[in-house]
Copies of this chain bind each other. A is one copy, B any other.
Amino acid sequence: MSTDPTTAPAGSDGVAGHPVAETVRLRRLGIDTYQEPVIFMPADCAVCRSEGWAAQSRVRITHGDHVIIATLNVVTGDLLADGEAGLSDVAWRMLAARDGDQLVLDPPDPLVSLRAVRAKVYGRRFATDDLRAVVQDIAAGRYSTIELAAFVTASAARGLDLAETTDLTRAMLEAGAQLTWERAPVVDKHCVGGLPGNRTTMIVVPIVAACGLLMPKTSSRAITSPAGTADAMETVAPVTLDLQHMRRVVEQEGACVVWGGSVNLSPADDLIIRVERPLDIDSEAQLVASVLSKKAAAGSTHVVIDIPVGPTAKVRAADAARRLSASLAEVGRAIGLVVQVVLSDGRQPVGRGVGPALEARDVLAVLRGEAEAPPDLRDRALTLAAALLEIGAAAPPGSGREMAERCLVQGGAWRKFQAICEAQGGMREPPRAVLTQPVLSVRPGRIVGIDNRRLARVAKLAGAPASPAAGLEMHAVIGQRVAIGEPLYTVHSQTPGELQYALAYVRRNRDIHILEEFS
C-alpha cells in the first residue's frame, strides 16, 4: 500500500516514488559551438519523450562532480542511437567527459536570478545579491544565449549606476580564480581596444620589470581584431602557460606576458563579451566591470588604463573618455585598486605593422633601439611605462618618463624582454608572409583621416590573426601628402585566396584613407 495519500490506488514504488534519473551514453561528435554548451540527442529517444524535451529545451547534465546546463539539439539523422548523446566541445570540456561515459540528465531548476534581469527590464535597480547571483549563474554556464543577451541589453537600456557597476565588478571578480603575489605593488596596464597595432604591452612590461616592479601580465587573443597582445607575443615566445609555469616566470623575472585564457580570471566576462560583441552595444558599466574585474583577479594593485580617443576608435570623443575615466577610477577605488587613466591619440594605427608578426616586429625594433623603430609606438610605450613607474612608486612623481627612457636606451628593457621570453619557453623571430602586395593611392592628396575599423577588416581578410604572418604594413600617416600611385600600405598574406579577398575588399572601400585635395 502506498503511504502517500496524494496518489491512489497505491502505486508501485517505481510509479509513486521520485523519478529515477535518466542516463545516456556519451559519444564524441566533435562539434564546436563556441561557448554555448549543447547536447545532441536522437529525436525518438526515450529520455526526450518522457521529459517532453524538444530542440531548444534546456537540460541539466551531471557527470561526476560536474554539473552544467546545455541547450538540446535534436538529431533527426542517424548520427546517434537511442540511449546515446553527443556534446558540443565546450560542454565536453566543462564536464571533463570521455567517450562512452554515462551522463545523468534532468530538467534544470528555474533560474531564480533571471527574475532580477526581468525586473531590470522594467526599471528596477540590481541589488548586490542580484548581481552576485546573476554573475555566478553566468560563470557556471547556466544562462542560455537568449538570457545572456537579455542581461546585456537590459543593463545597457536601463543603465547601471556606480554602485551597481561596483557590485557587478566585484561579482565578476569573485566568480573566478584570484591570484595573489608575495610582494606589492603589483602593476598592470590595459588598453581600451579599437586601435590596430597599439602593441605597447610588450615594451612596457620589460621596462617596468627591469625597473623593479612586479608585472604579471595576462593578455587576450584577438576576438574581432587582427591581433591581440597574446597573438603578437606568441610569434616571439610561448604564451599558453599554466599557472605554475606563469608563477615561476614572474618569480624569476618579475614579469610575464602570457595568454590569460588558461588561468580562469573573471570567467563570466568572456561569456558576456561573446554576446555583447556581435550586438556592438557599448555599455560603460560592462566595460568597467570587464576591465577592472580581470585586473583585480590577477592580483593587481595599481593599474594604468590607456584610452585611445578617435572617430573610429572604441571611444570616439573626449567627453565620453572623461566619463569613462571617472567611472574606472571610482569603481577601482571601491574595490581597492589604484587606477590612472591616460588618454591617447586614437585617430590612426600605432606603429607600422597590423597583424601578430608585423606588430611584434615593431616591438622588437623599439626594444632593440633600431633607427627605423616606429616613434609613435615607442612614445606611447614610454608614456604608459612612466605612469606605471610613478603610481607603483618606483620613480618619484615627474621622473618616470626619464627612468623609462633610460631603461630602454641602455638596453635594460631589451635584456629583460629576452629573459622573459626565455623563461616562458624560448625566444624566436616572428615569421614573414610569403605574399605581399602594396595598395597604392588612387589620387593625390593629404591624408586627413584613416578608418581603423575597415583597415582592421583588410588585415583580417588577409589572414590575421589565424595566420600570424598576415596583416598590413603601413607606409603613410595622417598629415602626410601622397602622390597618385604612391603606396599607402602593403598587404601581407600566406595564401593567394586570402590576398585576393583582402584586395577585393580594398577595391570596394577606397575611402579607408581619407584624402584632402592639395590646395
Contacts and interface: CB of A to CB of B under 8 A. Distances in A.
A143 B486 CA distance: 42
Nearest to A17: B504
Contacts of A8: 437-438, 440, 485
Interface in A1-37: 4-8, 11, 14-20, 28-36
Contact of A55 (B17, B33, B466): B33
A496 interface: yes
A54 interface: yes
Interface string A84-128: 000011000000000000000000000000100010111100000
Contacts of A279: 114, 118, 146-147, 150
A49 B154 CA distance: 35
Nearest to A57: B34
B29 A79 contact: yes
A56 interface: yes
A484 interface: yes
Interface stretch (A69-77, A323-331, A356-364, A373-381): A69-77
Nearest to A157: B157
Contact of A281 (B19, B118, B123, B158): B118
A300 interface: no
B503 A15 contact: yes
A78 B46 CA distance: 27
A428 to B, nearest CB: 23
A154 B149 CA distance: 10
B281 A75 contact: no
A506 interface: yes
Number of copies: 2
A212 interface: no
In this complex, the member of A31, A75, A88, A154 whose beta carbon has the largest number of chain B beta carbons within 10 angstroms is A31
B149 A145 contact: yes
A480 interface: no
A153 interface: yes
A121 B73 contact: no
Contact of A275 (B30, B146, B496): B146
A342 interface: no
A183 interface: no
A37 to B, nearest CB: 13
A50 interface: yes
A56 B93 CA distance: 18
A274 B56 contact: yes
A40 interface: yes
Contacts of A240: none
Given A5-B440, A19-B504, A33-B73, 6 more contacts: A8-B440, A17-B504, A34-B56, A145-B146, A146-B275, A149-B153
11 contacts: A6-B507, A6-B510, A7-B438, A30-B79, A32-B55, A50-B495, A51-B501, A121-B281, A149-B150, A150-B153, A150-B279
